[in-house]
Amino acid sequence: MTQREHSPALEAHALQCIRDDRTLFSELAFRLTPGEALVLEGRNGSGKTSLLRILCGIRLPDAGTVSWGGTDINKLGPDYHVDTAYVGHRDGIKLDLTPLENLAMARALGKPNNTTLEAALEKVDLHGFEDVLTRNLSAGQQRRLALARLLVTDTVLWILDEPFTSLDTDGIKSIEKLFEQHTRDGGMLAVTSHHAVNLANTRCQRINLSELAP
Amino acid sequence: MFNNFFHRMASPKHFYGLAGKLIPWLAVPCLLLTLAGLYYGLVKAPPDYQQGDSYRIMFIHVPAAWMSMFIYVVMAGAGAIGLIWRIKLAEVVAISSAPIGASFTFLALVTGSIWGKPMWGTWWVWDARLTSELILLFLYLGVIALHSAIDDKRTAARAVAILALVGVINIPIIHYSVEWWNTLHQGPTVTKFDKPSIHMSMLIPLLLMAVAFKLYYAFVVLMRARCEVLERECNSGWVQELAVKE
Amino acid sequence: MTSDSLTRAFALLLKRDLLLAMRHRAEMINPLLFFVLVTSLFPLGIGAEPALLRAVGPGVIWVAALLAALLSLEGIFRSDFEDGTLEQFLLSSHPVSVLVLAKVLAHWLITGLPLLLVSPLLGVLLGLPGDAIVILLVTLALGTPVLSLIGAIGVALTVGLRKGGMILSLLVLPLYIPLLIFAASAVDTAAAGFPVSAHLSLISALLVLALSLSPFATAAALRVSLS
């Protein structure tokens, strides 16, 4: 993993999100620097997923901006996407491909790093399943494969929506270790989770969207 | 100062007030011009040597067809402005225009059909212009259907803007191909909707009706846009105040 | 991102879609069967008089091709939308329009090309002369990519909707009309023994226009649908 000392910071200014005529949050601001994790908390429906999608650039905010290194992410476009990876509610993998084929596609869509596809699968405990059709893996294994996507491209910011869904305790522990490694190397995380996110040696900013609701 | 003007125009609240004031100034001239146009067209203009009095439906058919095209272009333009510069008002104007444009298209189709009946004995004929208008109606209906299928208004406006732009690029192509198709399959009869060679006495009512229809579009789109603005901004302070006052 | 990695992404996405289609080989047959079935309905509906069939043949085959293409369009983005891979394309460091082009090319190879291969059979069923069948093949070769390209815009606009399939036809069929007019007319003219270079130039022009503009419209539509 590369060491990053001069990565840009992620900043949000006066973000507002409206869904179905309800203002979910308004005037939301934060600053995330390399090595930090942003943990979003709140009830279901408080806008956690919407905020993550705004941070990805998939969803446009109803007011305010998100900037990466000082520039609006919607103006940066691909220059922002090359530095980010997103694992949402849906896994983002094709059930009719093997794990290796899925990771090859994920790698081709971004900037490849030095980790081999097989090594990535090992890190998420999918060693031995390289050529099994993803359809035949368990839900937990499929989720781990989705998270393996994070390991094959060279990205700074990981944006994760409920990453621990379907994982058992051991699975959760090994994924948390991957997150800690990532922030230790200067990466950043923006995470939502029902499960308490505990990352050792990582500065965590916590935002509770239910408390922010107008 | 110009910048300030555009800023105020783009604000829904100011638009609501301004539009409300403008509507009577557009509606009254529209009514007057319509009456004048109908008078000149139905009473003063002489009967056509070929088509007799039945050609007079042209005074509604032709301006309606012009409006159907004009409104589509305005809709696509407003949609593009809303899409590129994210101006809410442009989005509102675009979607408010769609039903008006569809209605003019329908009017053109119906009057075109009425025009043809006395001469050719059938209610419908696959004439180049009528066929193009029919396809244009489908394009409008597609815009309206897509907009109503998407729940979030801002997303709906963006989707519809893309569709309208794709449509506007295709309209010249469709026109050309339908003209071409029509000349291929022309029966022994000449196309019936060739306008009678335009005489001044026929040109004046035509132009009067054309301007009247434009004014009609202007004040109706403002009316619809005001409703749309109220719906979109229903949670904002100024709308709540208005509701209390009424 | 270098153009080298872009080419690699394009090629891999194309290969991925073809691979996925091969793993569901049985489904590839459906649009084909539909094409043959719809065409066969016409003699049953309007009578089998050879002169009549020959006269309506070009139009009938092309309308059937349009409908078969429409039927298969949803497949371009629906599956990717449902498993979350579609939004990964939007988050890629590569231009979405290029990725869209790869998917549309794959779609055409899977659904358009087979129509081409079966069309001589349909030409024979409707009694078209040899020259007309050749031109039918040419128009389908030039035209089916246009169907995929323009159709992709419609699918991109409706992929997020619950009843997307119903609106899709309304959005896409009017846009198909110029192609239908030129293509059917080309085959007709060829059947009468006249040259068709004008028609083919017009269809080629539509293809070039669709190739250059539709990927951008599709990319923009995807961004809207996924927001």
Chain B interface, best mutation among A21, A50, A72, by max B CB count within 10 A: A21
Instruction: Express as a percent the part of chain B with pLDDT over 90.
Output: 43
Query: C205 contacts in B (CB within 8 Å)?
Result: none
- B58-93 pLDDT per residue, tens: 889 999 999 999 999 999 999 999 999 888 899 999
What is the arithmetic mean of pLDDT over A132-147? 94
CB contact under 8 A, B151 and A20: yes
Closest chain C residue to the Cα of B156, Cα to Cα: C224
Give first-to-last CA distance, chain B, whole Å: 34
CB contact under 8 A, C167 and B146: yes
- Between B243 and C101, whose confidence is greater? C101
- A29-44 pLDDT per residue, tens: 999 999 999 999 888 8
Total domains, chain C:
1
- A180-214 pLDDT per residue, tens: 999 999 899 999 988 778 787 788 888 888 887 77
Chain C neighbours, 3+ Cβ pairs < 8 A:
A, B
By the 10 Å C-beta count (0-12 exposed, 13-18 middle, 19+ buried), C217 is classed as buried
Beta bridge partners of A112: A153
Q: Is residue A4 scored above 90 in pLDDT?
A: no
**Considering CB atoms only, which of A82, A88, A92 is closest to C1?**
A82
- Of B23-37, B52-66, B230-244, C77-91, the poorest mean pLDDT is in B230-244
**Considering CB atoms only, which of A20, A21, A62 is closest to B234?**
A21
- C124-178 pLDDT per residue, tens: 999 999 999 999 999 999 999 999 999 999 999 999 898 878 899 999 999 999 9
- B210-226 pLDDT per residue, tens: 999 999 999 999 999 99
Residues of C with CB under 8 A from a CB of B: 153, 157-158, 160-161, 163-164, 167, 170-171, 173-175, 177-178, 181-182, 185, 206, 209, 213, 217, 220-221, 224-225, 227
Query: B234 contacts in A (CB within 8 Å)?
Result: 21
Residue pair C97/C5 in contact (Cβ under 8 Å)? The answer is no
Q: Which portions of chain C are predicted below pLDDT 50?
A: none
- Between B108 and A6, whose confidence is greater? B108
Q: Is residue B191 scored above 50 in pLDDT?
A: no
B189 — pLDDT class (breaks 50, 70, 90)? very low
Query: C163 contacts in B (CB within 8 Å)?
Result: 149
**Considering CB atoms only, which of C9, C13, C23 is closest to A96?**
C23
Q: How far apart are CA A85 and CA A99, in angstroms?
A: 18
CB contact under 8 A, B151 and A21: no
Q: What's the confidence (pLDDT) of residue B188?
A: 42
Q: Is residue A135 scored above 60 in pLDDT?
A: yes
Closest chain B residue to the Cα of C174, Cα to Cα: B135
Q: Is residue A47 scored above 80 in pLDDT?
A: yes
Highest mean pLDDT among A7-11, A17-21, A104-108, A126-130: A104-108
Q: What's the confidence (pLDDT) of residue A203?
A: 87
Q: What's the confidence (pLDDT) of residue A18?
A: 86
Q: Is residue B246 scored above 70 in pLDDT?
A: no
DSSP assignment of A186-207: T-EEEEE-SS----TT-EEEEE
Q: What is the mean pLDDT of chain A?
A: 89
Q: Nearest CA to CA, how far is B15 from chain A (Å)?
A: 20
**Domain residue limits at C129:** 3-225
Chain A neighbours, 3+ Cβ pairs < 8 A:
B, C
Q: How far apart are CA B110 and CA B210, in angstroms?
A: 17
Nearest alpha carbon to residue C215 among C154, C139, C168, C153: C153
Q: Is residue A59 scored above 60 in pLDDT?
A: yes
DSSP assignment of A117-150: HHHHHHHTT-TT-TTS-GGGS-HHHHHHHHHHGG
Number of A to B CB contacts under 8 A, please give it. 8
Q: How far apart are CA C158 and CA C148, in angstroms?
A: 15
Closest chain C residue to the Cα of A100, Cα to Cα: C16
Helices (H), chain C: 3-22, 25-46, 50-73, 78-83, 85-90, 96-107, 113-125, 130-158, 164-191, 197-225
* ipTM associated with this complex: 0.92
Q: How far apart are CA C106 and CA A95, in angstroms?
A: 18
Amino acid (1-letter code) at residue B192: K
Q: What's the confidence (pLDDT) of residue B44?
A: 78
Query: A20 contacts in B (CB within 8 Å)?
Result: 151-152
Q: Is residue B10 scored above 90 in pLDDT?
A: no
Q: What's the confidence (pLDDT) of residue B140?
A: 97
**Considering CB atoms only, which of B141, B149, B166 is closest to C161?**
B149
Which two structure tokens, joined as six digits, stand for B139? 């394009």
A214 touches B: beta carbon within 8 Å: no
CB contact under 8 A, A82 and C23: no
Residue pair C197/C182 in contact (Cβ under 8 Å)? The answer is no
Q: What's the confidence (pLDDT) of residue A147?
A: 95
Q: How far apart are CA A187 and CA A155, in angstroms?
A: 8
B19 — pLDDT class (breaks 50, 70, 90)? confident
